[in-house]
Amino acid sequence: MVFSSLTFLFAFLPITLILYYLMPNNKARNVIILISGIVFYAWGEPLYVFAMLLSTAIDYFAGLMIAKYDDKPKVRTACLIVSLLMNLGLLGTFKYLGFLINSANAWFGWSIPNPNLPLPIGISFFTFQSMSYTIDLYRRNIKVQKNPVSFIGFVSLFPQLVAGPIVRYEDIQNEIDNRTLTEKQVGDGICRFITGLGKKVLIANNIGALWTSIKTMAEFDYSTLSVVTAWLGILAFTFQIFFDFSGYSDMAIGLGKMMGFNFPENFDYPYMSHSISEFWRRWHMTLGAWFKSYIYIPLGGNRKGLARTIFNLMVVWTVTGIWHGASWNFMLWGAYFGVLIVLERLFLGKLLEKLPSFFSWLYTFVLVVFGWVMFEAIDPTTVNIGEMFSQVFTYIGAMFGANGVFMDNFATSAIMNYGIIFAVCILGSSDLIKMFVNFVKEKAPKWVQYGAPLVQLCIMLAAVAYIATSTYNPFLYFNF
């Protein structure tokens, strides 16, 4: 089912916020959060909302048992294992079962029927979020939440339910039952929401249309792409996925502020990074923090020698690839970044520090773009590893002239039609706008500062107009 989230959101959000603000206290507001989260998810997944509720119920009762038997380590461990197995079982069944069956059938000539289960929206997000609660409770980092309404409300917080950021219970435990709403916080939330909406609708959707056109035209056969077309296509996706995902994160953080929550940041201008390690400290920060807390550090982190550190890094990056999707290209993508980070840990990082800033940035950006080729330009249904590598090398080869054509008519037309939006993408993925806004706040006359709400209003009206007239509105990370 197509999840027309923004269309529904504009009808759903005002009613939800009005009811929320009318409630006399946080206890009543948590009921609104619970109901709104279930309704929001059920709009896109009327059946699989029960999978989300099942995951939530498992962790709620596991948490109660872990707290009750605090002095019985074996019982606590058993409860944690049940929570992990049930959540990972749900994730594995819905997300990876079909992929494993298809791979086994192709490799071994079997004919196991594939149930072709539709993927519940955002299942990787809400299962990780819910699991973090039982793990942290087991570690005694947090206190048990005995109120089922408050706990279900935590998991089903609709602003970030289906595409992050991943909010751990530890992040907002003090705000679940004891939060305050101020005019400034609500105002900041509205501005952040509008900023995210503009990034998603006005930038990501428009630049993404170019990549969709090229991918549809090529049908995963990139042997005829010109150099310029190949670069324009993958750069379009490079900017699309950033503005799509960071835009949604901004919207979620903004809505959280409007409801009294302070969600963690998820992006910090990643395309300005000067190493792959730095890039991953700036991109999808909540996922990186999750893997660091619950996989990398428990495995020993960097405390058990170089060989073990390399092993731990490769485990984390293999899991990172698997988390993103049930396809071999995601595993290749995760392993690719794992190898690069290991090389930077071994020797490359020190070399990058000695390079002029521009060259270390160029190294990082180009390798990230190559990563997006693996992420997006491969047919996700292929189970033939050789074919997968062939598609990667064919696309990268086209980027460097292997097809013998530098520019074609499509590239010329694309530059004319998308030149301005590319310029906006370059500007918007840097911190120049942030620096300008800070300058205006500190130095500009008051009458200039008063123009900020007008700018926000224009962005909002333009976004609404786009949503009303366009049918192209993908949310890339809803699939993860």
Active site residues: 324
Q: What is the 3-class SS of the chain, one letter each residue?
A: CCCCHHHHHHHHHHHHHHHHHHCCCHHHHHHHHHHHHHHHHHHHCCCCHHHHHHHHHHHHHHHHHHHHCCCCHHHHHHHHHHHHHHHHHHHHHHHHHHHHHHHHHHHHCCCCCCCCCCCCCCHHHHHHHHHHHHHHHHCCCCCCCCCHHHHHHHHCCHHHCCCCCCCCHHHHHHHHHCCCCCHHHHHHHHHHHHHHHHHHHHHHHHHHHHHHHHHHHHCCCCCCCCHHHHHHHHHHHHHHHHHHHHHHHHHHHHHHHHCCCCCCCCCCCHHHCCCHHHHHHHCCHHHHHHHHHHHHCCCCCCCCCHHHHHHHHHHHHHHHHHHHCCCHHHHHHHHHHHHHHHHHHHHHHHHHHHCCHHHHHHHHHHHHHHHHHHHHCCCCCCCCHHHHHHHHHHHHHHHCCCCCCCCCHHHHHHHHHHHHHHHHHHHHCCCHHHHHHHHHHHHCCHHHHCCHHHHHHHHHHHHHHHHHHCCCCCCHHHHC
